[in-house]
Structure 1
């Protein structure tokens, strides 16, 4: 598998995870990253307003939120580094081509 295929797959996973996190936050009325647990009751938060949810929903929201915090910066960094690699490689090839042309003259 080529590196760009791996980077693309990570990017797709990051986008899907972020999308699911955002949809879930809207549906349940907040997210567990800013929510809290009190006396085995689970709350999600949305701009200071709290909604009680079950344990599975709270942990799913928390997992998707943490995944978004990890995968989105990772995907952006990988895409940008691959872009820089291709740019540097293109510049290198142009310089190499010019050097060959100047040697042959």
Structure 2
């Protein structure tokens, strides 16, 4: 079974993937007390709406990783649309092998 392909077919037109809504993203951002300079790693980032929205609204920076080439491309486009491409990075690949070049 090709799981990424199934998600591409069933959810590629969604900006936010289940079970989130724009309101829930905002509530979560507030609950986390996000602020400028917060760095986030989003594993299974989908089309990037969470990172892009939080970059715009809270000034966070982050990296999103997703198995879907389609979603990764959509995430990069969304970052451009919201003017946050310099704050977020999206990587196509398996997060199991991801190693950050940042120091804690």
TM-score normalised by the chain length of structure 1? 0.24
Q: Which has the higher helix share?
A: 1
TM-score, scaled relative to structure 2: 0.24
